[in-house]
Amino acid sequence: MKRRGFLRTIAAAPAVAVPLTGQQPAQQAPAGRGGMRGGQGAPELETTAADLTADAAAPSFFTADEYAALRALGNLLEPPLNGHPGALEAGAPEFLDFLIGVSPADRQKLYREGLDALNSQSRKQYKKLFGDLDATQADALIRPLLVVIPWSEDLPKDPLRHFIAQAHRDFRTATRNSREWASAGASSGRRGGRGFGGGTGLYWLPIDPVVRG
Amino acid sequence: MAREDYDVLIVGSGHSGGMAANILTGKGISCLMLNAGPQADFARDRVAKPVYELPYRGFGEPGRHPHIYQADEFNANQWVDEREVPYTYDPDKPYNWVRVRLLGGRSLFWARESFRLSDFEFKAAEIDGTGESWPISLADLDPYYSRVEGIFRVFGRKEGWPQFPDGNFIEIDYGPDSQSIKKVIELATARGIGCSKGRGAQGQNGLASSINLLLPDALETGKLEIVPNAIVREITTDRNTGLASGAYFIDRHSRREMHVKARVVILAAGCLESTRLLLNSGIANSSGVMGHYLIDQIYGINVVASVPEARDGKAPAGLMGGSVFMPRFRNLKKDEKRNFIKGYCVRVGSGVGASPEMFALYGAELEKKLASYAGSCLVGGIYGERVPRFENHVRINKEVKDAWGIPVLHIVAKDSENERNMAKDAADTIEEIYHAAGWEMVSRTERYNPPGYSIHELGTCRMGDNPKTSVLNKYNQSHDIKNLFVVDGAAFVTCGWQNPTMTILALAMRASEYCAEQMRTGSI
């Protein structure tokens, strides 16, 4: 599927190739030391987003057992519904493996210990890992851990409940902010708001950033 | 080549700095404005992007803005990066310091809610029986408020209530209230709570900033020069007179240090940055009060109810939608006995949905519930007034320096029982109204955001008549150094529940006119 997306993008590129060497701006800019002459006439070439051409690399932050539990948790909390992709179809576990891997230590600890606790409880209750549970077993384990959160910053004090609440929130965002979710919304004529449902927003580029040598 | 000295050096370009430049240049006074950050180009610096194309899928770069709840991945680059300009606090007293250093400062992004303070705030000590009053009253500021409201094109509904002063408003049609809002108004009114509508600045072309409403006119006079990327490190004083003589500043890119001379220095860097600059300069603090009495508003509590008839998409036309605004209604009478002083305003909005975390569900069950409650809910929240307390303060932390080698602020701010009791009273009041209406309570919390979240940090150089208990006089002028003014929110004595922008602007206008007159007469 990724490859097809890539080919579609190539096919959509302009039929007439831009002769790179033939571009001459009306007024040449002063030559810089790097030899970039006349840059204002340079064509903007069609490019393709990386995730249309490649799959995420193998999970690098979580262990195999943790990652299997993470996938199972995502599949349970955010299943495919009403024509929209679920967490797995949206690549949410792969994304969270990356995101948590570059997150502050307390968030990494929350996830690691949460997934380990899930596996531990699962072993105790069913003698197998959380990723190997069927839907009924997973529901029986997770449902008692769900809590109402009236204030977004007031996550549960119990570490496992805290992890489940945070993971639920993260899976929801990672799924609904995915390209796959946006494609499903576009094909059904639905439009999501910013932040959820593949919405579009005005992104501030770095503004006159300080360049450090 | 020696540079020409300027009449006035203005540090900061937001609402207060913009107003100072506007007033002073209008009187023929030459001004130099130094701004710590660059100028943003709204066309060049923003691009439309789908959220899935952002590097972190909308989550934002982890750990980049840990204290800016308002930040998301779209707007992350507009805020000051804490890694460049850090601040410190005690681990058990978190503070959210939300800053913008772009030209125009936070005036580029404010919510545009536009209120006057009332004498319940200006004369707080008389109302509360404790604390300090301002050295001015509403009557002193009234003509300036009116002029500011004209410039910013403030709309509002006049009520004639002393705790919610009317102003020079554009009248707008708020439209008819929905049935659910009418019910809230009926029940609130029966409990002695006045119900009105929000007030806000229309500005021009959707922007109510110094960069479009104040600075263009100042530049037009030919008397203003603006230098972006100029980070002021220290205000200098004349060794013989003790008067302010100018400032050292650092070029943000090259880190080259320069000095500029001026006859008068006006600080408008945004409350805590102005105070940080003064503390780092070691001046104007004979009172010992500088840095103290840090205040802002509590933003929060969340009380949500659902109207049963509006569920499952079956709301009849006119039942849901709209909002009601209840300005302060507590402690307006001397004999009122409550377990807190001061007050809060309530805003209730109708026609919203429930949030996923209001239900202990997941998957299809959760989606079904959310779909059922969509558009059927009312949500109530408050802006409440924090009490000015000496112990809530900022000081210089010499152990930590920013990216330009300037010592940072250590911020100490903690709430008291007064704030917690106020929030509980608000949640109880809103819940009681929902119950009386016969609606289903969905969620309730008395929690509110930590200090600083409102982005309305105020105080730390408060004004007053007594130089021993205040930093500035009633014209925002330093008691110690008469050619030094602080015209941003640092001058506040109390914060009120109101968005402070109109008051900051009115004070900056008044102070600038006073300054110009003092310069004309040669007093400074």
CB contact at 8 A, B40 and B102: yes
Contact B256, B1 (CB under 8 A): no
| Residues from chain A contacting residue B52 (CB–CB below 8 Å) | 177-179, 181-182, 198
Q: How does B29-52 read in b/e, with b if 16+ C-beta sit within 10 Å?
A: bbbbbbbbbbbbeeeebbeeebbb
Instruction: Please name the amino acid found at residue B408.
Output: V
Q: Is A137 on the interface with B (CB under 8 A)?
A: no
Do B375 and B431 belong to one domain? yes
Kindly determine whether residue B357 and residue A205, on different chains, have CB atoms separated by under 8 Å.
no
CB contact under 8 A, B358 and A150: yes
pLDDT mean over B308-312: 98
Is the CB of residue A48 less than 8 Å from the CB of residue A10? yes
Rounded (5°) CA angle B296-B300-B303: 155
**Residues B244 and B361 placed together within one structural domain of the fold:** no
Residues B317 and B179 placed together within one structural domain of the fold: yes
pLDDT for B485-512, tens place per residue?
A: 999 999 999 999 999 999 999 999 999 9
Contact B50 A200 (CB under 8 A): yes
Residue B120's Cα: distance from chain center in Å?
19
**Position A145 in a domain:** yes
Residue B95 lies in a domain: no
* Residues B255, B139 share a domain: yes
- Between the alpha carbon of residue B407 and those of residues A65, A125, B253, B431, B490, the distances in Å are 47, 56, 19, 46, 19
In this predicted structure, what is the pLDDT of residue A37? Answer: 61
Rounded to whole angstroms, the Cα distance separating B210 from B215 reads 6
Report residue B11 as tokens.
């540090």
Interface test with A, best of B35, B44, B57 (most A CBs within 10 A): B57
B268 and B239 together in one domain: yes
* Residues paired with residue B88 on neighbouring β-strands, in sequence order: B410
Asked if residue A119 is part of any domain, the answer here is yes
Strands B407-412 and B88-89: parallel
Q: What is each CA distance from B88 to B70, B185, B386, B401, in whole angstroms? A: 20, 44, 21, 10
Last residue of a domain, one of B448, B470, B492: B448
pLDDT band at A198 (very low <50, low <70, confident <90, very high): low
Residue B220 resides in a domain: yes
Query: If you count residue pairs, one on A and one on B, with CB atoms under 8 Å apart, how many are there?
Result: 138
Task: Label residue A79 by pLDDT band (50, 70, 90).
Answer: very high
Return d(Cα B330, Cα B346) in angstroms, integer: 11
Give CA–CA dist B445/B463, Å, rounded.
Answer: 36
In a domain, A122, yes or no: yes
Q: Are residues B42 and B114 in the same domain?
A: yes
Q: What is the 3-state secondary structure (H, E, C) of B165-213?
A: CCCCCECCCCCCCCHHHHHHHHHHHHCCCCCECCCEECCECCECCHHHH
Q: Identify which of A10, A9, A6, A92 has the alpha carbon closest to the alpha carbon of residue A53.
A: A6
Average pLDDT over residues A127-136: 97
- Does B55 touch chain A if contact means CB atoms closer than 8 Å? no
Residue B36 has pLDDT above 50, yes or no: yes
DSSP string for A50-92: GGGT-PPPSP-SS-HHHHHHHHHHHHHHS--BTTB--TTTTTH
* Residues B373 and B327 occupy one common structural domain: yes
pLDDT in tens, B418-435: 999 999 999 999 999 999
The pLDDT assigned to B5 comes to 78
Residue A124 lies in a domain: yes
In a domain, A50, yes or no: no
Residues B72, B426: Cα–Cα separation, whole Å: 29
Residues spanned by the domain of A139: 65-184
Which band of pLDDT confidence, cut at 50, 70 and 90, is reported for residue A185?
confident
**How far apart are alpha carbons B59 and A96 in whole angstroms?**
10
Average pLDDT over residues B377-394: 98
Looking at residue B46, its amino acid is R
* A107 in reach of chain B (CB within 8 A): yes
Quote the pTM value.
Answer: 0.92
Whether A169 is in a domain gets the answer: yes
What is the number of structural domains in chain B? Answer: 2
Q: Is the pLDDT of residue A161 over 80?
A: yes
Both B251 and B327 in one domain: the answer is no
Question: How many residues are given for chain B?
Answer: 524
Q: What per-residue confidence (pLDDT) applies to A25?
A: 36
Dist CA A147 CA A155 (whole Å): 9
How far A166 CA lies from chain B's nearest CA (Å)?
Answer: 10
Task: For residue A193, give the amino acid letter.
Answer: G
Q: Same domain for B251 and B375?
A: no
Q: Say whether both B253 and B305 belong to one domain.
A: no
Domain housing B342: 159-202+295-388+415-448
Cβ–Cβ contact A88 with B under 8 A: no
Which residues of A, range 162-181, sit inside 8 Å of B by Cβ? 165, 168-170, 172-174, 177-179, 181
Tell whether A60 is covered by a domain. no
A196 is a domain residue? no
Domain count, chain A: 1
- Do A200 and B57 make contact, defined as CB atoms within 8 angstroms? no
CA A196 – CA A200 distance, rounded (Å): 9
Q: Judging by DSSP bridges, how do beta strands B46-50 and A200-204 pair with one another? A: antiparallel
Task: CATH number of the domain at B325, please.
Answer: 3.30.410
- Model pLDDT, residue A10: 31
Q: Are residues B366 and B441 in the same domain?
A: yes
Whether B281 and B344 map to the same domain: the answer is: no
